[in-house]
Amino acid sequence: MSTPADPRREVGGTYFVQNRDNLEELSRLHIQDRMLTASMGGVLPEQGDPARLRRVLDVGCGTGGWLVEAAKTYLDIERSVGIDVNRQMIAAAHQEAQAQQVSARVQFRLMDALQMLKFPSDSFDLVNQRLAMSWLRTWEWPKMLREEWRVTRPGGVIRLTEVAIVTESSSPAYLRLCTLILHALYRAGHYFNPTPDGLTSQLVPLLHQFGVENVQTRLHAVRYRAGTAEGQHFAEDMRLVSRTLAPYVRKWGQMPDDYQALCKQMLQEFEQPDFFAVLNVLTAWGTKSQPPTKTASGREQP
């Protein structure tokens, strides 16, 4: 294995697929979006009153799948905005919104979320961020959450969803590949520690640290099995992951000599009738505190 680079000296894009414009990655993100949303029970399964969320921002929207599905599901959402730093992703998101006939209510903008969000303060009822582990590094979370808090209106919701990389599975090859990816993510600075919950365990403390109140969580233990449509989508997603992340695994010093054989073995094990894999998906959310109100005498009260 090679000596890994220094993540803090990295320049340019921080996304874990080096060539984000390739068609395989676009295809993978479309599959991943649909698969994850369906397995979680919808776009906002934990929100008790999603009809009150009239203005929605999706940070790091990728190909736009989550935001488009939210607009289709909740017709009361008046303004939906997705931002991403990649032009190809934004173009694909525009096409998806047009194909699903929601482009009148959904906007996608080219924007670097690691810089200041180009929106006025108190702009959105919901700020959503999903699978930011692919581009957000540990030392960038504070600035990101400060900006998300700023653009969320008082009483609005900040919502984070992340996946634990290493999960239960009947496939030894899959578990080994997940471990390689996990340690590459840790060395690159995307995980706080090299354990399966090295990011998900930090979501609640991070939200508390940056002034989010009433923080709650929902864990989805999503099980994929052989012989099901969901299992087929999972297998296709992992086939593409193993290809597109190969340069990333190599760059961060985790590439074994038998990597190609390992990926082939994993796909064979996926075809076994007793195959299963469990993904632990955690959503953490909370609200931005309301400003103090004034009494008739002009005094502020909580």
Pick from 81, 69, 63: which is nearest to 41 by CA? 69
**Quick one: pLDDT at residue 294?**
44
**Quick one: pLDDT at residue 15?**
87
**Quick one: pLDDT at residue 175?**
97
Give a yes or no: residue 274 inside a domain: yes
Give a yes or no: residue 4 inside a domain: no
149-to-45, 120, 231 alpha-carbon distances in Å:
22, 11, 37
**Quick one: pLDDT at residue 247?**
93
Number of structural domains, the chain? 1
Instruction: Write the CB contacts of 110 (distance below 8 Å, at least 6 apart in sequence).
Output: 83, 84, 85, 87, 90
Consecutive H or E run containing 124: strand 124-130
**Quick one: pLDDT at residue 198?**
96
Give a yes or no: residue 297 inside a domain: no
Q: pTM higher than 0.75, yes or no?
A: yes
Supply the CATH number for residue 108's domain. Answer: 3.40.50.150
**Quick one: pLDDT at residue 214?**
96
Three-state SS for 144-193 is: HHHHHHHHEEEEEEEEEEEECCCCEECCHHHHHHHHHHHHHHHHCCCCCC
Give a yes or no: residue 301 inside a domain: no
> Do residues 125 and 153 touch, judged by C-beta distance below 8 A?
yes
> Do residues 25 and 53 touch, judged by C-beta distance below 8 A?
no
pLDDT along the chain (302 residues), means of 10: 50 69 83 91 92 94 96 94 95 95 96 95 98 95 96 97 93 97 95 96 95 96 94 95 94 93 98 96 93 47 35
Give a yes or no: residue 167 inside a domain: yes
**Tokens linked to 2:** 């090679």
d(CA 130, CA 128): 7
d(CA 66, CA 182): 24
> Do residues 69 and 99 touch, judged by C-beta distance below 8 A?
no
**Quick one: pLDDT at residue 7?**
54
Consecutive H or E run containing 242: helix 229-244
d(CA 103, CA 107): 7
d(CA 5, CA 145): 27
Give a yes or no: residue 222 inside a domain: yes
Give a yes or no: residue 261 inside a domain: yes
**Can you give the residue range of the structural domain that contains 57?**
12-288
Give a yes or no: residue 6 inside a domain: no
